[in-house]
Amino acid sequence: MTDHRWSRAVLLDLDGVLLDTTLTRDLLGPHEIGRAVRPGVPAQLRRLAGYRVGCAALTTLPAGWAEELLRAAGLAPYVQAVVTRSGMARWLPSPLPAHRALNLLRWEECRSRVAVIGDSPDAVTMGRKAQLRTVAVVYGRSSAPDLADAWPDVLAASLTDAVTAALDLTDRSLLTDRPGRPGRGYASVS
């Protein structure tokens, strides 16, 4: 049964999109986690919550560490589910992590109401294989040309642009998920 608190869902890459996890290895403790939070992340997660968007984070970090990082950074209230690589038989670009995230969010609605925001071609490929909307951010670990080669629906320069695109893509689905109307077929760069 779908959790009716959410009108839409967004799956976010914790490693690179929300946190600069290259910095987390150098932190002396959870009290320093603020250094690893990407600029604008708290505001954008609050924005998604305001639109009743359920959020799941996908990460290669161990579950306990990922959840501790989210709590210490003050982001845990905005992330309802965490999917870790260690908890999956297959990882990106397999669609299994996306399916697991949707199960944890109790999402049974139309998949066009779900977007993936990632910073790697594998995250985009996972989203496409899972039949979700895809937004690639260029400030993470992959270059814009590499991300474009994965064919995301939108290539975004910032998290603000990525969230705007995710909201737009999942909002458009209300218009395009009817019989006789295409559900995909548009792409843009923000």
Residue 152: the pLDDT is 98
User: Token match 């161990």: residue?
Assistant: 62
* Domains of the chain and any CATH numbers: 8-189 (3.40.50.1000)
Residue 31: the pLDDT is 60
What confidence tens digit (pLDDT) does each residue in 19-58 have?
887 766 665 555 667 778 899 999 999 999 999 999 999 9
How many whole angstroms separate alpha carbon 45 and alpha carbon 40?
Answer: 9
Q: Phi and psi dihedrals of 136, rounded to 5? A: -110, 130
Better pLDDT: 150 or 176: 150
Give residue 174's pLDDT band: very low, low, confident or very high (50, 70, 90).
low
Residue 6: the pLDDT is 86
Q: Maximum distance among all alpha carbons in the chain?
A: 56
Give residue 179's pLDDT band: very low, low, confident or very high (50, 70, 90).
very low
Indicate yes or no: pTM above 0.85: yes
Is the pLDDT confidence value at 178 over 50?
no
Average pLDDT score, the chain = 87
What confidence tens digit (pLDDT) does each residue in 108-134 have?
989 999 999 999 999 999 999 999 999
Q: Which residues of 140-173 are buried (b: 16+ CB within 10 A; e: fewer)?
A: bebeeeebbebebbbbbebbebbbbbbbbbbebb
pLDDT mean over 69-91: 93
Share of the chain above pLDDT 90, in %: 65
